[in-house]
Amino acid sequence: MQSIDAALFMFAPLMALLFLGVPVAFALITVAAVFGLWHFGDSVVHLFVGKVQEIAASHALAAAPLFVFMGAMLERSGTAERLFEVIHMWTRRLPGGLAVGTIIMCVLFAASSGVVGATETVVGMLAIPVMLRHGYDKGLISGTICAGGSLGSIIPPSVLVVILSLIAEIGIGDMFAGMLFPGLMLAGLYVLYILIRCGVDPKIAPQVSEADDTMPLGAKLRLTLVALLPPIALIFLVLGTILGGMAVPTEAASMGAVGAVVLTLLYRNFTWAVLKQSILKTISITAMILTILLGGTMFSSVFIGTGGLVAAERAIEVLQLGGWGTLILILLMAFLAGFVMDVLSIILIVVPIAVPLMTGFGFDIIWFFILLLITLQTSLLTPPMAGAIFYLRAIAPPEITLRDMYRGMTPFILLHFVVLGLVMVFPELALWLPEILLDFD
């Protein structure tokens, strides 16, 4: 009983270390080590060594650095610049056309890279100057870039989902199939919101003048073909082979990494310096991910070993919330945690507790994880730990203030709750594609 009670106290020092500014990975490792040594003595060392070996030997996790490398190479391949020109060429006449084109570009780039930071940074650096030059509202610019960039977490292939699938021990292909339609729904609502708002209030998104659009139709079609075919081919290599059952995620990620290098060669942007920078960036991001993942697995192992799950189940029994009440409570806790923690840390802490509870209540685990992903994507937009804002502040000019960013993201956050409610009420929105493509039960 004492160990069960002690497990609940692991969260207090963890939150204290996080508020003191200790990096997430080291905070998780420190708390796990202290409580592990306290309850299990020297034997906990063997547990931690086993976790290191388990992560290092994970075949599924090998896809993560390959996806990161693919995104790093795409940043320098010239793909984003060509997509930017082509998409805005067709959307600029719509209400808020530049913002609409930016969302579409984020969808395509997210489906090609799988990394939130890469999507938001690359698209933002291209789109922000253009929208500012045409007099777009700074809040609309901020919300569009942040929300569009966050799609990298819910549109496959997502590195975040690779890690989530590993922790939860479920198929990555199942998750990719389940998250595809809700992710596209969310992007569609972004576009619909921009069209309606800019149609009602044209001043926030002035119409592009006729002089800016003088290219003949034949030239537009040729440019569109040249710009769209390579990224679509890359998307098929990665997503098509996974969803079609032709390749496992690691194999598909390998093809995607090679494809990104080929695109860089085709667009004549390949240099050894570019390759070196991409490799170094991949090593840096992968090391960060693996360290946080190791800390999370150590923390969850000690938490479970000291009876944390039993304590959580008892707390749920005392509250008498039932299945749906427990589901809403877990999603609410994940949402609130997003105000002070990064998304990966929330996954590492919440998933080991949530999986047995959701399974015990008979909920479909893929459906639950799609709901969790939508909630966690909202965390990328909610201050003060809004990851999307951190990326935007790094690339935004001084005239776009923090107030503009917060103001612009609020409507997009509300759209997340709309999609969350739809998927919650209609589970088939997340489950029909896995059932069709992967015979998921």
Picking from 360, 375, 271, the residue whose alpha carbon sits closest to that of residue 321 is 360
Structure confidence at residue 192 as a pLDDT band (50, 70, 90): very high
83: containing domain: 2-37+59-438
Q: Residue 45: inside a domain, yes or no?
A: no
Q: Assess whether the previous peptide bond of 206 is cis (omega < 30° from 0).
A: no
How far apart are the C-alpha atoms of 142 and 152, rounded to whole Å?
A: 16
3-state secondary structure 249-289: HHHHHHHHHHHHHHHHHHCCCCCHHHHHHHHHHHHHHHHHH
How far apart are the C-alpha atoms of 426 and 78, rounded to whole Å?
A: 40
Q: Which residues contact 340 (CB under 8 A, 6 or more apart)?
A: 15, 18, 19, 384, 385
When pLDDT is averaged across residues 2-28 and rounded to a whole number, the result is 72
For residue 213, is pLDDT > 70?
no
Structure confidence at residue 440 as a pLDDT band (50, 70, 90): very low
- Give burial (CB, 10 Å; 0-12/13-18/19+) of 278: buried
Structure confidence at residue 441 as a pLDDT band (50, 70, 90): very low
Residue with tokens 């939860």: 168
At 240 the pLDDT is 80
Q: Residue 42: inside a domain, yes or no?
A: no
Q: Residue 53: inside a domain, yes or no?
A: no
- DSSP symbols for 63-110: HHHHHHHHHHHHHTTSHHHHHHHHHHHHHTTSTTHHHHHHHHHHHHHH
Q: Residue 217: inside a domain, yes or no?
A: yes
H runs (alpha helix) in 306-342: 308-319, 322-337
For residue 6, is pLDDT > 60?
no
How far apart are the C-alpha atoms of 441 and 432, rounded to whole Å?
A: 10
Q: Residue 48: inside a domain, yes or no?
A: no
Domain count, the chain: 1
Length of the chain, please? 441
| Top-ranked range on mean pLDDT: pick from 44-58, 113-127, 399-413 | 399-413
At 257 the pLDDT is 87
Structure confidence at residue 384 as a pLDDT band (50, 70, 90): low
Q: Residue 324: inside a domain, yes or no?
A: yes
How far apart are the C-alpha atoms of 139 and 162, rounded to whole Å?
A: 32
Q: Residue 94: inside a domain, yes or no?
A: yes
Picking from 355, 55, 79, the residue whose alpha carbon sits closest to that of residue 235 is 79
When pLDDT is averaged across residues 374-384 and rounded to a whole number, the result is 81
Q: How many CA atoms lie within 13 A of 150 on its CB side?
A: 30
Q: Residue 46: inside a domain, yes or no?
A: no
Structure confidence at residue 1 as a pLDDT band (50, 70, 90): very low
How far apart are the C-alpha atoms of 175 and 437, rounded to whole Å?
A: 12
At 214 the pLDDT is 67
Find the range with the poorest average confidence among 13-22, 133-142, 183-192: 13-22
How far apart are the C-alpha atoms of 152 and 154, rounded to whole Å?
A: 6
